[in-house]
Amino acid sequence: MNTSAPTNTSNIDLAAALADAEQRYEAANPRSAERHRAAAAHLPGGNTRAVMYYPPFPVAMVRGEGCRLWDMDGHAYTDFVSEYGAGLYGHSDPVIRETLEATLRDGWVLGAPNAYEARLAAALCERFPALERVRFCNSGTEANIMAVSTARAVTGRTRILVFREAYHGGVLTFAHGGSELNIPYDYVFADYNDIDGTVAAIRANAGELAAVVVEPMLGGGGCIPATREFLVALRQETEKAGALLVFDEVITSRLAPHGLHGEHGVFPDLVTMGKYLGGGCSFGMFGGKAGIMDRFDPASPHAFSHGGTFNNNVLSMSAGLAGLTRVLTPEASRRMNGLGDQLRDRLNDLFGKHGVGGIVTGFGSVMNVHFVSGPVTTPAQLEGQDRRLFQLFQLEMILRGQYITSRGMLALSLPFGQQEIDGFADAFDDFLRTHRSVLPRPVGGG
């Protein structure tokens, strides 16, 4: 079965190419299709997590090993989704597995401080320079809610500056003007990497601004790295305005051995993290300056109370500790991120080779393919892309054994090697060659 070979209708126009890809995808994945249909009886649209839906239906996975996945219909993939960054250790790291097995042998839901949480806190503070004290929670969303609520409480102010198209969690999402489900904080919006506009917005709101929340690389908004000058300007202006600077490093902490704040040498007041730092189990963390975080000391007068049944659950704490201290060494981080840099350069060269208007943005091991001519420094430049291009790209890459996200985001994991990078570059080369006629042409100098 060669499911990757497009038929001769695929280069007529985009609609025909997409219809052709969908037909081959549906024919190749009957079990995933059936699972999706059946799931809709009790999960709305068969889904419980927005990014896990894409048309016509998602492939369902049954097994993972290293950086490989196998779906219900028996196809093998290289995993470029990497659980949106949380799968940094891959699917079967022996240290994580042994740790989880040993933790399970000792019992779980202990309902008390355990042997791991303080050691994980110490390891995080040692690794990430902006962390003096931390607290744990269960997701990146929760970490950001806690950071924003903390900023409002310590400053006695209400307003929060966020960036258009940023994603900080299911109830803190600012793509396309925001979501009806967002927490109704008093938001002010600015444009990512726009120093003048952001400085003006901070100054105009100075007396009421509790915090500026920013990702040092806009992740969900298209993997657009912040310039160091932009981050420095945010640091200076928040200080002047008496507002807290919060870095959301839920994705970006994996992009350099000491996070992107460590890489740039720009130190926020609070940092949020999540994803891989639970070793593959659910995880969130907010932390930063001791002067702020010590308000959470339950023995201090007027302490902030922060509960959470699973904040110190033994599986996340022990797997997170093992991963950070024994697997994700600074050398391992540099190697994985170096492979990401290499892949991004190769994919950009392939856009040039095939005369296709596209760019791969990102930093280290996380990147995003876009069908616009670069360079891209702010998400407004990504507007207007035909969504069908991403659908076509995703289905065609899945049909070529490369599991990728529906928005063209790719994330590597530690088990990746040269073979996986070469395999993806070859598949991408083939996709561009076979679909060149329905993809955009370069614009300007792009």
Nearest distance in Å: CB 284, ligand PMP = 6
220 in helix, strand or coil?
Answer: coil
Helix (H) and strand (E) counts in the chain: 13, 16
Which two structure tokens, joined as six digits, stand for 61?
């996975």
Nearest distance in Å: CB 307, ligand PMP = 18
Closest residue to bound ligand PMP by CB: 140
Closer by beta carbon to ligand PMP, 161 or else 399:
161
Closer by beta carbon to ligand PMP, 172 or else 432:
172
Closer by beta carbon to ligand PMP, 52 or else 61:
52
Residue 212 vs residues 12, 261, 268: alpha-carbon distances, Å: 48, 15, 10
Q: Residue 288: count other Cβ atoms within 10 Å of its Cβ.
A: 25
Closer by beta carbon to ligand PMP, 271 or else 427:
271
Question: Which residues would be at the binding site for ligand PMP (CB under 6 A)?
Answer: 84, 139-141, 144, 167-169, 215, 219-220, 248, 250-251, 274
Which two structure tokens, joined as six digits, stand for 261?
């704040």
Beta strands in 19-118 (DSSP E): 61-65, 68-71, 76-79
Closer by beta carbon to ligand PMP, 145 or else 327:
145
- Of the candidates 398, 372, 361, the one whose C-alpha atom is nearest the C-alpha of residue 55 is 398
- Of the candidates 379, 384, 435, 424, the one whose C-alpha atom is nearest the C-alpha of residue 162 is 379
Nearest distance in Å: CB 166, ligand PMP = 8
Q: Put the strands of the sheet holding 76-79 in their side by side order.
A: 61-65, 68-71, 76-79, 402-403
Is 213:173 a contact under the CB 8 Å cutoff? no
300 in helix, strand or coil?
Answer: coil
Q: What share of the chain is helix, strand, coil (3-state, %, to 5)?
A: 45, 15, 40
Nearest distance in Å: CB 55, ligand PMP = 21
Helical segments of 364-417, H only: 387-399
Nearest distance in Å: CB 12, ligand PMP = 37
Residues with Cβ within 8 Å of residue 23, at least 6 apart in sequence: none
Nearest distance in Å: CB 275, ligand PMP = 6
Is 268:292 a contact under the CB 8 Å cutoff? no
Closer by beta carbon to ligand PMP, 135 or else 435:
135
Cα separation, 419 vs 243, whole angstroms: 47
Nearest distance in Å: CB 270, ligand PMP = 13
Closer by beta carbon to ligand PMP, 162 or else 372:
162
Closer by beta carbon to ligand PMP, 14 or else 137:
137
Closer by beta carbon to ligand PMP, 167 or else 416:
167
Q: Give the burial class of 26: count Cβ atoms within 10 A of its Cβ; 0-12 exposed, 13-18 middle, 19 or more buried.
A: middle
Cα separation, 218 vs 166, whole angstroms: 6
